[in-house]
């Protein structure tokens, strides 16, 4: 907002001159100045980006520093408050202000989708290569997300790669975020020759995809709760009896510093059937001091910690932070009017009810996210993929993935008993998440 600020300083001088002139001229000048300021404001904003209500953004403080008459300041603040606009790093354009890109419908598209082939992307983990593992249908690859009020910008891999030059893009979270991470790499890697790229598994927490000629990295950091927990080993982790340590975000957060674009997620691991445990002291204490809050309160703790970490460590003038909402599961057919005992296994069609939401816990967690984000000044862009993904009961890996343990005869006889209704085939749904990330990054 430099333009209006400098011009308003010049105007202050004009006002001072005007004061020694007749009151009539002063009034006239003041009126002209007011119009000019508003015009300058709008002018500046055509070059800046627009936030929507889901994009929580700190106000530009330059107005508080200007020496404008208080009534002008007030007017501008009022005008600003509604829209909360500010130029964002990496923005090259903007999405129509009245368009919520997460509100829309799936449209069959066999021309532009999938955006790459499964066999073309060697980075997809065997848990997500569904065709290789015998999935008989491929219709799940041929869907495009169509927002109700605008079109999504076309994913431009060149723009993404050029933007990443000399930069570090970091995904932090659980296996679902890892899926989105791999999808991003699959969307980009074709433009980079073989010798210019390498996938490095630095250690169990951090995976680094290095683009040598770009001096860039795209990284994934395993931290399913973001906070320190007893599930932090990416390979060997306990499923039962999870314990998360309060106030421990810096344990992992110290490894995230210096990233230019961060994409967080965290959800499924908080949803354990057992009583959730929060540790107050340290895992090294002899007697662990444990609290047992509700899932919502525990999750709220996670949100508060993440938002505080972003406020303290990310510079909103140079970096962007995203948070991907809950990835839905499709474990019970009765949720969408299917047969009792069924799940996502053998599903190849979408849920057509636009009101479909699935399990209730997602609703209460969404409420927690909404509350904590609106209280925070952290400039985190919310990727609200929950609803649009909940229509996609067809897109899970089902049984078409690498099985780590040999299947028992009982399992073989009843495939749905071992179907994975949590993770998503690639290419597939998670490419759309990245198209939405692309839209929010470059056309906020
Ligand atoms: C993609 O981005 C690059 C780099 O900004 C630009 O030169 C190119 O025109 C874009 N391509 C399309 C199809 O918009
Ligand atoms: C590579 O990028 C880093 C920032 O990630 C920067 O500090 C460094 O100077 C860059 N190196 C070159 C050779 O451009
Ligand atoms: C993992 O490796 C990275 C890069 O080598 C290093 O900075 C980081 O400290 C390591 N993280 C852990 C948890 O050991
Ligand atoms: C899969 O679904 C189709 C209908 O879409 C049905 O005809 C078929 O019997 C189902 N297969 C299994 C193994 O459940
Ligand atoms: C995300 O989208 C859903 C459905 O479109 C909506 O109900 C929910 O309020 C949104 N969440 C937030 C935090 O904006």
Per-residue pLDDT at 391 = 98
For residue 340, the Cα-to-chain-centroid distance in whole angstroms is 34
pLDDT in tens, the chain (444 residues): 333 333 333 334 333 333 444 444 444 444 443 333 333 332 222 222 222 222 222 222 222 222 333 333 333 334 444 455 678 999 999 999 999 999 999 999 999 999 999 999 999 999 999 999 999 999 999 999 999 999 999 999 999 999 999 999 999 999 999 999 999 999 999 999 999 999 997 677 999 999 999 999 999 999 999 999 988 887 766 566 789 999 999 999 999 999 999 999 999 999 876 778 899 999 899 988 999 999 999 999 999 999 999 999 999 999 999 999 999 999 999 999 999 999 999 999 999 999 999 877 899 999 999 999 999 999 999 999 999 999 999 999 999 999 988 999 999 999 999 999 999 999 999 999 999 999 999 999
User: For the CA atoms of 371, 393, 420, 329, what is the dihedral angle to 10 degrees?
Assistant: 20
Q: What's the chain look like in SS3?
A: CHHHHHHHHHHHHHHHHHHCCCHHHHHHHHHHHHHHHHHHHHHHHHCCCCCCCCECCCCCCHHHHCCCCHHHHHHHHHHHHHHCCCCCCCCCCCCCCCCCCCCEEEEECCCCCCCCCHHHCCCCCCCCCCCCCCCCCCHHHCEEEEECCCCCCCCCHHHHHHHHCCCEEEEEECHHHHHHHHHHHHHHHHHCCHHHEEEEECCCCEEEEEEHHHCEEEEEEECCCCCCECCCCCCCCCCCCCEEECCCHHHHHCCCCCCCEEEEECCHHHCCCCCCEEECCCCCCCCCCEECCCHHHHHHHHHHHHHHHHHHHCCCCCCEEEEECCCCCCCCHHHHCCCCCCCCCCCCCCCCCCCCCCCHHHHHHHHHHHHHHHHCCCCEEEECCHHHHHCCCCCEEECCCCCCCCCCHHHHHCHHHHCEEEEECCCCHHHHHHHHHHHHHHCC
* Beta-sheet pairing, 261-265 with 168-173: parallel
Tell me which residue has its CA closest to atom 4 in ligand 3.
Answer: 202
pLDDT of residue 358: 86
Would you name the residues annotated as active-site residues? 175, 420, 423
Question: Of ligand 3's atoms, which has the minimum distance to the CA of residue 203?
Answer: 1
Asked if residue 10 belongs to a domain, the reply is no
Cα 208 to middle of ligand 3, angstroms? 11
Domain coverage including residue 421: 24-442
113 occurs within a structural domain: yes
Which residue CA neighbors atom 12 of ligand 5 most closely?
A: 370
Residue 345 in domain: yes
**Burial of 418 from C-beta contacts in 10 A (0-12 / 13-18 / 19+):** middle
Please tell me whether the overall predicted TM-score, pTM, comes out greater than 0.85 for this model. Answer: no
| Total number of domains in the chain | 1
Task: Check pocket membership of 203 for ligand 3, CB cut-off 6 A.
Answer: yes
For residue 52, the model assigns a pLDDT of 27
pLDDT of residue 83: 52
Paired sense of beta strands 143-147 and 197-201, if any: unpaired
Cα dist from 31 to 66, 163, 287, whole Å: 18, 43, 71
CB of residue 206 inside a 6 A radius of ligand 3: yes
pLDDT score, position 239: 61
Residue 330 lies in a domain: yes
* Distances 148 to 102, 177, 212, 382, 438 between C-alpha atoms, Å: 9, 26, 40, 18, 18
Q: Which of 196, 214, 190, 217 is nearest to 115 (CA)?
A: 190
The answer to whether residue 292 sits within a structural domain is yes
Q: Is 4 a domain residue? A: no
In the structure encoding, which two tokens stand for residue 376, read together? 């925070």
Distance (Å) from CA 429 to ligand 3 centroid: 30
Q: Is residue 14 part of a domain?
A: no
| CATH number of 43's domain | 3.40.50.1110
Ligand 5 centre distance from Cα of residue 383 (Å): 10
- The rounded distance, in Å, linking the Cα atoms of 329 and 344 is 9
**What is the distance between the alpha carbons of residues 275 and 420, in angstroms, rounded to a whole number?**
24
Question: Is residue 11 in some structural domain?
Answer: no
């Amino acid at each position: 907002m430099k333009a209006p600020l400098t011009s308003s300083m010049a105007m202050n001088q004009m006002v001072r001159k005007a004061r020694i002139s007749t009151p009539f001229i002063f009034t006239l000048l003041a009126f002209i100045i007011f119009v000019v300021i508003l015009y300058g404001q709008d002018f500046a904003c055509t070059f800046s980006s627009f936030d929507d209500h889901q994009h929580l953004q700190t106000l530009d403080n330059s107005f508080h520093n200007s020496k404008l008459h208080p009534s002008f300041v007030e007017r501008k603040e009022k005008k600003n408050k509604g829209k909360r606009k500010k130029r964002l790093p990496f923005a090259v354009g903007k999405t129509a202000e009245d368009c919520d890109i997460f509100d829309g419908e799936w449209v069959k598209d066999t021309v532009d989708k999938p955006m790459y082939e499964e066999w073309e992307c060697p980075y997809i983990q065997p848990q997500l290569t569904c065709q290789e593992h015998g999935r008989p249908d491929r219709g799940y690859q041929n869907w495009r997300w169509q927002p109700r009020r605008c079109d999504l910008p076309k994913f431009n891999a060149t723009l993404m790669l050029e933007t990443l030059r000399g930069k570090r893009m970091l995904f932090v979270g659980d296996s679902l975020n890892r899926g989105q991470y791999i999808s991003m790499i699959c969307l980009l890697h074709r433009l980079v020759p073989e010798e210019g790229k390498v996938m490095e598994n630095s250690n169990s927490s951090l995976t680094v995809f290095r683009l040598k000629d770009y001096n860039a990295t795209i990284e994934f950091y395993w931290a399913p709760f973001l906070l320190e927990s007893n599930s932090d080993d990416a390979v060997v982790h306990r499923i039962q009896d999870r314990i998360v340590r309060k106030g421990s975000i810096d344990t992992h957060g110290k490894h995230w510093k210096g990233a230019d674009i961060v994409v967080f997620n965290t959800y499924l691991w908080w949803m354990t059937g057992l009583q959730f445990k929060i540790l107050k002291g340290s895992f090294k204490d002899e007697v662990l001091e444990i609290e047992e809050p509700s899932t919502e309160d525990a999750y709220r703790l996670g949100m508060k910690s993440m938002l505080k970490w972003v406020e303290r460590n990310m510079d909103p003038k140079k970096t962007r932070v995203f948070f991907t909402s809950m990835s839905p599961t499709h474990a019970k057919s009765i949720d969408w009017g299917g047969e009792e005992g069924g799940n996502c296994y053998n599903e190849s069609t979408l849920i057509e009810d636009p009101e479909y939401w699935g399990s209730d816990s997602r609703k209460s967690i969404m409420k927690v996210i909404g509350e904590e984000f609106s209280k925070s000044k952290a400039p985190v862009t919310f990727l609200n993929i929950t609803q649009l993904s909940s229509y996609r009961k067809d897109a899970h890996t089902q049984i078409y993935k690498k099985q780590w343990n040999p299947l028992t005869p009982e399992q073989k006889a009843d495939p749905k008993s071992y179907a994975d209704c949590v993770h998503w085939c690639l290419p597939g749904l998670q490419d759309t998440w990245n198209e939405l990330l692309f839209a929010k990054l470059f056309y906020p």
